[in-house]
Structure 1
Amino acid sequence: MLAAYAARQSADDPLSGLEVGEIDAPSTPEGWVTVDVRAAALNHHDVWSLRGVGLPADRLLPMILGCDAAGTDPEGNEVLVHSVIASPGWAGDETLDPRRSLLSEVHPGTLAEQVRVPARNLVPKPAELSWEQAACLPTAWLTAYRMLFTNAGVQPGDTVLVQGAAGGVATALVQLGSAAGLRMWVTSRDAAKGEAAVALGALHAFDSGARLPERVDAVMETVGAATWSHSVNSLRPGGRIVISGATSGDAPAKAELTKIFFKQLQVIGSTMGTRDELERLTKFVVAQSIQPKIDRVLPLAEAREGFAAMAAGQVDGKVVFTT
């Protein structure tokens, strides 16, 4: 079957290990089902896998990449794929399972004509969403949904700062938060990306590190070291930082511990989301008539173009592949 997969890894030249072509279809374990993929979306996770992060080359290559997909199950039902794979016998919040994995880390991923997943990992696809829109939701959008609605502790009318304006999670945060009645602010080093966030629903866009007109109720942090001090300084007393990534590194120059305890700030880690949260996300997107922002749609056979754009930081919204 046609797939985009990691055949090799290189920290300096990740695309050198990407292959797009025919590969043997994996077997379907007991209790799993085969989904015929109609659309699959790209994430930074896929580029990191090509760099050698989180994917052991000695055991798991070649590995089909991808976490996001929408398609049809063996009965012909239209479904989304929840990519968090819990360990056998795990009960409860699967994101807290210490042995959990994501598709494309241990099990073959979604950037293929078919993907195998546990039957419990399927979520009904609303008819109101196109295949391309639905494929955007299971990773970046689910991460944003959990950050805002499970972990941020905010209410309509509260002000939320999103560090970095154009990434997949940041874009989803702006669209979800504005639809929920939150005052969404963003920061960006690129004025055009800030303007694009405002067009999606953000109230204001500020230069990275700029002094804000008032302190905010919560900060959504995915950048890490480069924005950490600004995130802490931007919060009102008692506010929360929700962190789901650290693309600029995880070792800031200052930990800001004194400000954190003196202002009684809360730092909340947030990773992906549960299958139930994904189902609630799909319903919220439909109810609010949200259209996930898509940067480009490409045939799976042209996946290299999408990977190259993401690796170069030249995407604004999701990159989606169709089969």
Structure 2
Amino acid sequence: MLAAYAARTDAENPLSALEVGEIEPGETPADWVTVRMRASSLNHHDIWSLRGVGLPADRLPMILGCDGVGETEDGRIVVLHAVIPSAGWTGDETLDPKRSLLSERYPGTLAEQVRVPAGNLVALPEGMPIEHAACVSTSWLTAFRMLFVQSGVRPGDTVLVQGAGGGVATAAVQLGSAAGLRMFVTSRDEARGAKAVELGAEAAFASGERLPQRVDAVLETVGAATWSHSVKSLKPGGTIVIAGATSGDAPPAELTRIFFQQMRVQGSTMGTRTELQQLLSFMASRRIEPVIDSVRPLSQARDAFERMESGEVFGKLVLTV
């Protein structure tokens, strides 16, 4: 079948490890179900996989992709939940120490078909375009959990999102503004900040710029480059929710400020299947449409990867089958 996959890994030149072509599906447990893919989207996780992060040589070749929408053998259109718990795990699958994502241990969604546990399928809401639903299972679900599960904010509260333009940041702005939150963003790129305001942010600021007021929560995915600003921008008793550290993970800890002002630092990873259902329902009811940078057929996956690596993307890169 046609797929985009890591044929090898290359830490310095990840796209040299990418192949788009025919490949035999990888092995999966016998009780999993087959889904014929209709659309999928790229995440930076795919680039990290091509670099070899979380993808050892003994799992190659590996079909990439975490997000996607497809059709089951009985004709249902479903959204795929990418978090795969270990056998026998019950409860919040994001807390399973042996969990994985599609494309880490088992083949991913950038293919004509994929096999997943039956419990990882969520019905596509009526009227939601498949291209929109294909965007949500990773970055949108991460943003949803950060905002509505981990941060403790309520409508009317103010939230700072570090790094406007990234997939999680863009989703957080759209979700937060739709829920009645006052969303601030920072960006090194003035144009990206302006786009975030168009999507619902109340204001955009330069990276490190002092805010007009302290915020109730900060959504942090950047790490070392923005950590001190995140701590200084937070109200006493507020919460910093961390779901990534793209600029590094060893900033000064600011421990004195954190304990003295009784701030909370909360980690967050992906989301549960139940939260994916809630996210889809919320998006459908509020008619929230993910920002899509471009849509291409799966056969042109390399073009999409090149655009992602260029850093010029604003929104999701969608591939259709």
TM-score range with shorter-chain normalisation?
Answer: over 0.9
Give the alignment partner of residue 303 of structure 2, picking from 296, 302, 305. Answer: 305
Q: 2:292 aligns with which of 288, 291, 294?
A: 294
Amino acid at match of 1:121: N
* Letter of the 2:288 counterpart: I
Contact between 2:27 and 2:106, CA under 8 Å: does it hold in 1? no
Distance in 2 separating the partners of 1:105 and 1:72? 22
Question: Letter of the aligned partner of 1:296 in structure 2?
Answer: S
Structure 1 residue 195: deviation in Å?
0.2
Deviations 1:6-42 (A, max 9, x none): 0111111100000000001234522210000000010
Residue 103 of structure 1 is matched in structure 2 by 102
Q: For residues 267 and 294 of structure 1, what CA distance do their matches in structure 2 show? A: 31
Give the equivalent residue in structure 1 for 2:119: 120
Counterpart CA distance in 2 for 1:129 and 1:97 is 31
Paired with 1:106 and 1:27, the residues of 2 have a C-alpha distance of 10
* Counterpart check, 1:9 vs 2:9: yes
CA distance in 2 between counterparts of 1:36 and 1:27 reads 16
Partner of 1:318: 316
The number of residue pairs the alignment matches comes to: 321
| Deviation at residue 129 of structure 1 after TM alignment | 1.0
> How far apart, CA to CA, are the structure 1 residues paired with 2:276 and 2:239?
23
1:153 matched to 2:156? The reply is no
User: Residues of 2 paired with 1:117 and 1:165: CA distance?
Assistant: 33
Residue of structure 2 in register with 1:87 after alignment: 86
AA of the residue aligned to 1:164:
G
The 5 A counterparts of 1:86-235 are: 86-235=85-234
1:18-97 residue pairs with structure 2 within 5 A?
A: 18-57=18-57, 59-97=58-96
Flag structure 1 segments of 5+ consecutive residues without an equivalent: none
How far, CA to CA, are the matches of 1:27 and 1:39 in structure 2? 22
Q: Distance between the aligned counterparts of 1:141 and 1:259, measured in 2?
A: 31
Pairwise CA distance, 1:312: 1.5
RMSD value over aligned CA atoms? Answer: 0.7
1:281 to 279, 282, 291: 279
* One-letter code aligned to 2:208: G
Q: How does 1:243-254 map to 2 (within 5 A)?
A: 243-252=242-251, 254=252
For normalisation by structure 1, the TM-score amounts to: 0.98
- The Cα of 1:126 is off from its aligned counterpart by 0.9
Find the residue that maps to 2:30 and give its secondary structure. coil
Amino acid in the other structure paired with 1:237: P
Structure 2 unaligned spans of 5+: none
Kindly indicate whether the alpha-carbon contact (under 8 Å) linking 2:9 and 2:52 is maintained by their aligned counterparts in 1.
yes
- Deviation sequence 1:226-283 (CA, Å, 0-9, x none): 000000000000000000000001111x110101100100000000000000000000
Question: TM-score under structure 2 normalisation?
Answer: 0.99
- After TM superposition, give the deviation of residue 95 of structure 1 in Å: 0.2
The whole-number CA distance in structure 2 between the counterparts of 1:56 and 1:27 is: 16
Preserved contact between residue 3 and residue 112 of structure 2 (Cα < 8 Å): yes
Q: Distance in 1 between matches of 2:124 and 2:67?
A: 13
Local SS of the residue matching 2:67 = coil
Q: Quick one: percent identity of the two aligned structures?
A: 68
Distance in 2 (CA, whole Å) between partners of 1:202 and 1:226 is 22
Q: Quick check: 1:28–1:34 contact (8 Å CA) kept in 2?
A: no
Aligned twin of 2:240:
241
Shift of 1:309: 1.1
Aligned-residue offset at 1:102: 0.3
Q: CA deviation at 1:185?
A: 0.4
